[in-house]
Amino acid sequence: MEHGTTTKFKDLDFKIRSVPVLVIHGEDDRTVPVSHGKAICERAVNRAAPLWLRATHDNLENCRETWLRIRTFIKRDIKRMMLSKEEISVGKMK
């Protein structure tokens, strides 16, 4: 059990099933293992393509790719996820 992965994510399971999720994680992060980011990604139903960077815990915000990915998430991915959710809801009503 790496850093309590299995117990810490039990509480998150419900929350990450109902909201759009974008995971950006540094592969060289020594504070939070990249396996935690991958675990969140696996559990998220409405997930956008994750971004794994050659970065540490403290320098993700300095990477241009971080901000480009966040912009795409806000402008495109969330809209797509919400439309998909509406289509599923409409399908259930028929």
Supply the range of the domain harboring residue 61.
2-93
Domain count for the chain, please give it: 1
User: Over the stretch 35-53, which tens digit does the pLDDT of each residue have?
Assistant: 999 998 988 888 999 999 9
24: phi then psi, degrees, rounded to nearest 5 = -125, 120
pTM equals 0.74
Using alpha carbons, select from 64, 68, 66 the residue that is nearest to residue 76: 68
Tokens matching residue 33: 């293992």
User: Over the stretch 10-39, which tens digit does the pLDDT of each residue have?
Assistant: 666 666 677 899 999 999 999 999 999 999
